[in-house]
C-alpha cells in the first residue's frame, strides 16, 4: 500500500464536492504534468491512501482522507475538443493522459500548511519543499501516520 497527497483547488473541486459526488467518488481528471501522470498510471493501486489537499486558496491544507478505488485509465477530457483539458495529440488508440478514481473516506478538520510546516516529523513532506508544484506527490508511511495522528 502506498500513500499520496493530491491537490485540488476548492474553486474547481473541493472536498465538499467529493462528499456530494455519486458514491463519494470522482475520476481525478485534468492532470497535465507527466510526473504526476506517471504516479497515477504506474504506481497508484486500489486501496492506496490519499490526503485530499486544498491548494490555491485562503487556507491551503489537508481537508480529507480518500482512497484510490480504480486504477489508471485514459482521461476522457483529453479527447473532447473545446474542453480545457483537450489534447489534440492524444487519440483513443494512443492516450497521453490518465486518471484514477478516488473515493472519500472522511472529511477532516483543516490541517493547515502552517501546521504541517510546524511539525518537525514532516520536514521532508514533498508539498512543503521549495519549488514543488506537483498536484500529486507520494507520502512516506511515517509522514502518513504522523498526519493521521495530527488529524485525530
Question: Residue 141 has which C-alpha cell?
Answer: 508511511
What are the chain's domains?
A: 3-151 (3.10.590.10)
pLDDT at 142 over 90: yes
> Which of 5, 2, 9, 1 minimizes the C-alpha distance to 122?
5
**Residues 132/1/34/60 CA torsion (nearest 10 deg):** -30
Establish how many alpha carbons lie within 13 A of residue 129's alpha carbon, considering only the half-sphere containing its beta carbon: 10
Give 79-94 pLDDT, tens digit per residue: 999 999 999 999 999 9
The string of pLDDT tens digits covering residues 9-32 is 999 999 999 999 999 999 999 999
pLDDT at 49 over 90: yes
> Which pLDDT value is given to residue 131?
87
Query: What pLDDT, on a 0 to 100 scale, did the predictor assign at position 133?
Result: 87
State yes or no: pLDDT of 132 exceeds 90: no
46-74: average pLDDT: 98
Q: Number of C-alpha atoms within 13 angstroms, CB side, residue 35?
A: 7
What sign does the dihedral 152-47-100-142 (CA atoms) show?
Answer: positive
Amino acid at each position: 500500500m502506498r500513500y499520496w497527497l493530491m491537490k485540488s483547488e476548492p474553486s474547481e473541486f473541493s472536498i465538499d464536492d467529493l462528499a456530494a459526488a455519486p458514491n463519494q467518488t470522482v475520476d481525478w481528471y485534468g492532470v497535465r504534468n507527466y510526473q504526476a501522470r506517471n504516479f497515477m498510471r504506474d504506481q497508484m493501486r486500489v486501496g492506496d491512501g490519499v490526503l485530499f489537499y486544498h491548494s490555491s486558496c485562503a487556507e491551503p491544507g489537508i481537508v480529507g482522507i480518500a482512497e484510490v478505488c480504480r486504477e489508471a485509465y485514459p482521461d476522457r477530457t483529453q479527447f473532447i475538443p473545446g474542453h480545457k483539458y483537450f489534447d489534440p495529440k492524444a487519440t483513443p488508440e494512443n492516450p497521453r493522459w490518465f486518471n484514477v478514481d478516488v473515493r472519500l473516506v472522511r472529511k477532516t478538520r483543516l490541517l493547515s500548511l502552517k501546521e504541517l510546516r510546524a511539525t518537525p516529523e514532516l520536514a521532508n513532506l514533498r508539498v512543503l519543499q521549495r519549488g514543488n508544484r506537483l498536484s500529486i506527490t507520494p507520502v512516506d508511511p511515517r509522514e502518513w501516520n504522523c498526519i493521521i495522528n495530527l488529524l485525530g
